Amino acid sequence: MRRRDFTVGATGLLLAAGCMPASFEYEAGSRPWHHGPEGFRNPPGSPERGGGVVDWADFFWRRLGRRYPPPALPAGHVRPEREVLGTLSGPERPDGFTWLGHASFLIRLAGRTVLIDPFLSDYASPLPPLGPRRFAPPALVPSRLPTVDLVLLTHNHYDHLDRPTLEALAARDRPLLVTTLGVSAYLADLPFRALHELDWHERIELLGLEVTAVPAIHFSKRTLFDRNRSLWCGFRITDGRRVLQTLGDSAAGPVFEELARRYAPPDTLLVPIGAYEPRELMKGSHCTPEEAVAIGRTLGAHRLVAMHWGTIALTDEPPFEPPVRFREAAARAGYAPDRDALVPAIGETLPLT
């Protein structure tokens, strides 16, 4: 296949996966800023994604036109399954959280099991085996997870809304699901006990927990025709004593100063540290490790936990560069290594403080 033909085909695939930039004209009105006549948009002052058609075509060619060998995994990057299962066994296990890989976390809080953005499949793509393939296995496959009470989905991209995983969980456990506006349309045929959609700053109480959707700087797309038709967000989860917050996928921007004024500092903040190069293309949707730390400091987070790296190659940075930069930036910002700025292994369980 000639390069030009392949690039055209790859562009169509990545469009479906939600990777092309677009711009909209919005009218002023009584609706919230992020609601517009053609879809949702990021908070005021957010960075915009750059790059022209050639830049994006070259990016697609690098991601899909070549078959990169999977990187060698460092020792200890993925915990053995038997160790993971041993940590999670027993109905009286203490509150804590387990990194399943990428942006997926299994959380035990107030006796409930919460799953965030469970991507446990091999491909983040609408057309496997095309598209990005994970190079590190998930900590557990869906059938090996403990019973899940509640699923949180931050947005509709394939590396966050993973239909095969959600189908298995819905059929097995019938958990509750909380997501953002418009996302439930992709899941309406699945047998969740209930699906709840939240706008930014809306909150809901379920199972003794309070969940609040908070703004993020990103975008949504899952097909050729639904760009920004559903919303994206981060989540704050609390049992009334402790607050765990995930940024979801987000760039850096002034909205986090607003969040710092509006909400108490989170005890634990899950921050995305990967998928940031080429910078001009990714600056409007993904933060760098340094920006992730700065967001944490702005929010007053007591502890940062790195995520969205070390699992699947979505962009151009070396796959194991993000944690090095994250640790260095966290130390400069005053976070104590291995106490306040954590880089867990896939499958590692850490206590909630």
Sign of CA dihedral 314, 320, 323, 324: negative
Q: Are 274 and 309 in contact (CB under 8 A)?
A: yes
The closest of 322, 318, 230, 206 to 272, measured between CA atoms, is: 322
The pLDDT of residue 67: 58
What digits encode the pLDDT tens for the residues 183-207?
999 999 999 999 999 999 999 999 9
Residue 121 lies in a domain: yes
In one-letter notation, the amino acid at residue 272 is P
Give me the DSSP letters along 106-138. Answer: EEEETTEEEEES---SSB-SSSTTSS-BBSS--
* pLDDT tier, 65 (very low <50, low <70, confident <90, very high otherwise): low
In one-letter notation, the amino acid at residue 328 is E
> By CB neighbour count within 10 A (0-12 exposed, 13-18 middle, 19+ buried), where does 224 fall?
exposed
What digits encode the pLDDT tens for the residues 12-46?
333 333 333 333 333 445 789 899 888 999 999 99
The residue ranking higher by pLDDT, 2 or 47, is 47
> By CB neighbour count within 10 A (0-12 exposed, 13-18 middle, 19+ buried), where does 73 fall?
middle
Residue range 252-271: mean pLDDT, rounded: 98
> What is the distance between the terminal CA atoms of the chain, rounded to a whole angstrom?
54
Q: CA–CA separation, 151 vs 177, rounded Å?
A: 5
| Contacts of 88 by beta carbon, 8 Å cutoff, 6+ apart | 98, 106, 146, 349
Residue 190 lies in a domain: yes
What digits encode the pLDDT tens for the residues 101-140?
999 999 999 999 999 999 999 999 988 888 899 999 999 9
Q: CA–CA separation, 186 vs 126, rounded Å?
A: 13
Tell me, what CATH number does 309's domain have? 3.60.15.10
pLDDT above 70 for 4: no
Q: Which helix (H) or strand (E) holds 3?
A: helix 3-17
* % pLDDT > 70, the chain: 90
Residue 64 lies in a domain: no
What digits encode the pLDDT tens for the residues 305-314?
999 999 999 9
**Total number of domains in the chain:** 1
The closest of 299, 317, 298, 309 to 342, measured between CA atoms, is: 309
Residue range 269-292: mean pLDDT, rounded: 97
CA angle 10/14/15 to nearest 5° reads: 115
Residue 47 lies in a domain: no
The CA dihedral of 101, 104, 106, 109, to the nearest 10 degrees, is 130
Helix, strand or coil for residue 268?
strand
Range of the domain at 311: 81-351
Residue 20 lies in a domain: no
Residue 200 lies in a domain: yes
In one-letter notation, the amino acid at residue 300 is G
DSSP assignment letter at 64: I
The residue ranking higher by pLDDT, 280 or 8, is 280
Residue 22 lies in a domain: no
Residue 34 lies in a domain: no
Q: How many CB atoms are located within 10 Å of the residue 172 CB?
A: 14
> By CB neighbour count within 10 A (0-12 exposed, 13-18 middle, 19+ buried), where does 50 fall?
middle
